A and B are shown apart, each in its own frame.
Chain A
Amino acid sequence: QQQVKQSPQSLIVQKGGISIINCAYENTAFDYFPWYQQFPGKGPALLIAIRPDVSEKKEGRFTISFNKSAKQFSLHIMDSQPGDSATYFCAASGLHNAGNMLTFGGGTRLMVKP
């Protein structure tokens, strides 16, 4: 059972544009929602994370929007740059599920064109 669904699978954005990636979850026990960035041949790097007590969190060009009632959250990358080209994963975990395991979405391959 895929508990975190991510869309789109791939995304092409022009330099300076806004990249938007969406995720939906099923398990209402989730209370921590991180986004990871992964470059080819590298491990995932933690970008930004949010807890359900806030609806939005911004760090630099990266913003998470969270909708608890809809069980959805999204990543917005403002002023997208070619260096942002990577695969992005949303994830979710809860304090009471198996050892704080992260459940990942399927990933979005982002390409930012110069």
Chain B
Amino acid sequence: ETGVTQSPTHLIKTRGQQVTLRCSSQSGHNTVSWYQQALGQGPQFIFQYYREEENGRGNFPPRFSGLQFPNYSSELNVNALELDDSALYLCASSFTGNEQFFGPGTRLTVL
């Protein structure tokens, strides 16, 4: 059984640029959630995708968008990057339930 994987591991961007982060869900899981974790804080929910549709969204602006593909993998896109977007971005997969399993994250630095 393959766990949740994310790519890339690290990424450096400049303010105003756009970024795409990728996630492959755990085998058998059909739901993907994305979280932002600032340094020294708990993860904050961005949004969740179920069967390729957004299934819930946290308090993040529209420049945070996502996609889920038929194989349940997912992308997180962030436009017009701001310095405060620097964080660890976590993907979690689940099978239509509460139990969510996290990937290792992508560390994004915005300069």
Contact assessment for B41 and A99 in the assembled complex, using a CB-CB cutoff below 8 Å = no
A44 to B48, CA, bound (A): 17
Q: 8 Å CB contacts to A: which residues of B91-111?
A: 92, 94, 97-105
Interface positions, chain A 85-101, Cβ under 8 Å from B, are: 89, 91, 93, 95, 97-101
Number of CB contacts from chain A to chain B under 8 A:
76
User: How many residues on A have C-beta within 8 angstroms of the other chain's C-beta atoms?
Assistant: 26
Q: How far is the CB of B52 from chain A (nearest CB, A)?
A: 14
Give the complex CA separation of A91 and B48 in angstroms: 16
Most B-side CB within 10 Å, residue of A41, A89, A98:
A98
Q: Please report whether the interface of chain B is mostly helix, strand, loop or mixed according to DSSP.
A: strand
Which chain B residues lie closer than 8 Å to A91 at the CB level? 42
Q: Which of A11-19, A55-63, A104-112 contacts B (4 or more CB under 8 A)?
A: A104-112
Query: By the criterion CB–CB under 8 Å, are A98 and B48 in contact?
Result: yes
Is B45 a contact partner of A43 (Cβ separation < 8 A)?
A: no
Residues 50-73 of chain B: 1 if any A CB is under 8 Å from the residue's CB, otherwise 0? 100011111000000000000000
B-chain residues with CB within 8 Å of residue A103 when the two chains form the complex: 45
Tell me if A54 is interfacial: C-beta within 8 Å of chain B: no
> Whole-angstrom distance between the alpha carbons of A92 and B97 in the complex?
13
A30 to chain B, nearest CB (A): 10
Whether the Cβ atoms of A100 and B48 lie closer than 8 Å is yes
Chain B residues near A93: list those with CB within 8 A.
98
| Residue B33, interface by CB 8 Å | yes
Pairs A–B under 8 Å by Cβ, sample size 8:
A89-B43, A99-B48, A99-B57, A100-B33, A100-B56, A100-B94, A100-B97, A102-B33
Q: Which residues of B contact A (CB under 8 A)?
A: 4, 31, 33, 35, 40-45, 47-48, 50, 54-58, 90, 92, 94, 97-105
